[in-house]
Structure 1
Amino acid sequence: MDFAVSFSFLLLFMIMLTMWDGVQSFKPSGWTKASATFYGGGDASGTMGGACGYGNLFTNKYGTRTAALSTALFNDGNACGQCYKIMCDYKSDPKWCIKGVSVTITATNFCPPNYALPNDNGGWCNPPRQHFDMAQPAWEKIGLYHAGIIPILYQRVACKKHGGVRFSINGREYFELVLVTNVGGSGSIDAIWIKGGSSDWAAMSRNWGANWQSNAHLNGQSISFKVRTSDGQTLVFPDVVPSNWGFGQTFSSHLQFT
């Protein structure tokens, strides 16, 4: 192979690498105005569980930097796992905002509407209002406790996670309920496929929050997953679950979204 051909192959490889990197990296959004309150107590103990199904937020590596999203943001659970950079809008409320500080949170819960109260006086999570009910420790990074509610600016950002994506399998025979946690990149999932060691790929459906279901009978088979995040990234997790798996177990992969 002469120099010209070698150079052409190298150039093509670099172009393909650039295109791949552009597709695979989650791009942050612009800044949007919203509002924020807090819940869960100073130790965030009241934030455990929630509408995304993450259970113990400490065990599942979400900690105290979390929030419940209003109807307009939660999107029927499609926003579960998404990450947002939030800062208090100091120009709008210098009395209660902490200036120049931001905090990044993960969406782990739903803030239900309260139609008995108006949107601007207690019904903070009523549609179409964009609102974050943040874990108290996260909220206090950007606002003063006695404010109760503050105006904010938020930006959706990439979720940066340690380790790989995790799969927790619950359910019973002929019914697998899979909770997917520790998802990086866009943080949220819009499609999952499941495959047993001796079966074909089958699409799963969202049961609730970050829980996805399959009606296959996969007992005694190793299990693979194909996961597509909300920004279009797709990863295959081959045989991430060994054939001797049991319901109630969690399995960690070595792969992660960016």
Structure 2
Amino acid sequence: MGVPSSLPSAAAAALVLLALLAGGHCREAQLDTGDLDAAGTENYNASDAAVYWGPWQKARATWYGQPNGAGPDDNGGACGFKHTNQYPFMSMGSCGNQPLFKDGKGCGSCYKIRCTKDKSCSGKAETVIITDMNYYPVSKYHFDLSGTAFGRLAKPGLNDKLRHSGIIDIEFTRVPCEFPGLKIGFHVEEYSNPVYFAVLVEYEDGDGDVVQVDLMESKTAHGPPTGRWTPMRESWGNVWRMDTNHRMQAPFSIRIRNESGKTLVAHNVIPANWRPNTFYRSFVQYS
């Protein structure tokens, strides 16, 4: 939702605040005003947000969706993750602007965030996961949180009061994701077939992010093992795809590279009898 540029800055800011408090999709949290950090003129540096347990950095936070919800109405978002109201997300998702979302390569990244300036803030750090894209930032780093995540920053009993603040100053630092009891997961996307294969990478413990995905077929069309990794293309969010001119031979192994340079391999994670719209889990080998 845009704000008419002819409005005085104070009135425009008030309209923006009302829009943010009303919830909706994080992409609607648009600012045209010049009194909130002139976010569009900032020099973004994604690497500043990639250091684990680095110095606490300044950011701003808003919230969207239902006050105690997971954010988007469909419990998904621009990363493609499913059921963000369930474990391991537990409604603690956030839209991130470009230095956090990183054209989808920041999907699944985990951050500790805290707020202290607002009187309703607890100062306690909470972990959030990047699950969506924020196209209209209000500062250099902008977390548009689910209503649940935003409320968790408050002192006991002051969740709603903090949410009514609309835009708050926070601090953040990158942390490894911790998903006890979960293996890496791959959701084979709808419309996948023997010559087109698309997969959503989910629940990656540790780094959380994915910067490259490669696929190895179990054998060639003529029988012998391939032993060759083929790069997949980033489709959107955390969905990666492969288009071929031959019928791919399953089972498939999948290799993932993180922003830190770590490589994870899930051997034969996609079985020979794989089906579209199906979720497969696997232990991984690190290198």
Give TM-score scaled by structure 2 length.
Answer: 0.70
Residue of structure 2 in register with 1:164 after alignment: 183
| Cα shift at 1:219 | 5.0
The answer as to whether partners of 2:265 and 2:286 remain within 8 angstroms in 1 is: no
1:155 matched to 2:173? The reply is yes
| C-alpha displacement of 1:173 | 3.3
Name 1:109's counterpart in structure 2. 132
Give the Å deviation of 1:42. Answer: 2.5
* CA distance 1:213–1:194, shift in 2 (3 Å): same
Distance 1:231 1:243, change over 3 A: same
Give the corresponding residue for 2:267.
238
Which of 74, 97, 105 is residue 78 of structure 1 equivalent to?
A: 105
**Which is worse superposed, 179-188 or 191-200?**
191-200
Q: Describe the superposition over 1:6-51 as per-residue Cα deviations: whole angstroms up to 9, x where unpaired.
A: xxxxxxxxxxxxxxxxxxxx94332100010111213315422211
What is the aligned counterpart of 1:63 among 74, 84, 90? 90
**Counterpart among 128, 132, 139 of residue 143 in structure 2:** 132
Distance in 2 separating the partners of 1:135 and 1:59: 13
How has the CA–CA distance of structure 1 residues 257 and 186 changed in structure 2, closer, same or farther, with 3 Å as cutoff?
farther
CA distance 1:27–1:102, shift in 2 (3 Å): closer
Tell me what 2:121 maps to: 97
The answer for the alignment partner of 2:195 in structure 1 is 174
For 1:116-162, what per-residue CA distance to the aligned partner results, in whole angstroms no more than 9, with x for missing partners? xxxxxxxxx15x62110001111111141221111000000000113
| Cα distance change on mapping 1:29 and 1:153 into 2, 3 Å | same
* Superposition RMSD in Å: 2.1
Out of 186, 202, 223, the position equivalent to 2:252 is 223
Q: Which amino acid aligns with 1:69?
A: G
Q: Distance in 2 between matches of 1:45 and 1:28?
A: 26
1:202 aligned partner? 230
Task: Tell me the TM-score normalized by structure 1.
Answer: 0.77
Does the aligned pair in 1 maintain the 2:186–2:280 contact within 8 Å? yes
CA contact (8 A) 2:61 2:142 kept: yes
Q: Once the 2 structures are TM-superposed, how far is the Cα of residue 181 of structure 1 from its aligned partner?
A: 0.3
Deviation at 1:215, TM superposition (A): 1.5
Hey, what does 2:164 align to over in structure 1? 146
Q: Displacement, 1:55?
A: 2.7
- Does residue 42 of structure 1 match 2:67? yes
In structure 2, what is the Cα distance between the partners aligned to 1:164 and 1:80? 17
- Say whether residues 1:183 and 2:204 are aligned partners: yes
Describe the SS at the equivalent of 1:177: strand
Give the SS at the match of 1:147.
Answer: coil
Secondary structure in 2 aligned to 1:80?
Answer: coil
Q: How big is the shift at 1:257?
A: 7.0
Letter in 2 for 1:165: I
Name the structure where strand makes up a greater proportion of residues. Answer: 1
Q: Which has the higher contact order (CA 8 A, sep 6+)?
A: 1
CA contact (8 A) 2:70 2:84 kept: no
Query: Residues 256, 201 of structure 1: CA spacing in aligned structure 2 closer, same or farther, 3 A cutoff?
Result: closer
| Cα 1:197/1:257, change in 2 over 3 Å | closer
Question: 1:255 Cα deviation (Å)?
Answer: 2.7
Distance 1:230 1:181 in 2: 16
Kindly indicate whether the alpha-carbon contact (under 8 Å) linking 1:102 and 1:141 is maintained by their aligned counterparts in 2. Answer: no
Cα deviation 1:180-216 (Å, max 9, x = unaligned): 0001111101111101110332011111110001114
Among all aligned residue pairs of Structure 1 and Structure 2, give the percentage whose two residues are the same amino acid.
Answer: 30
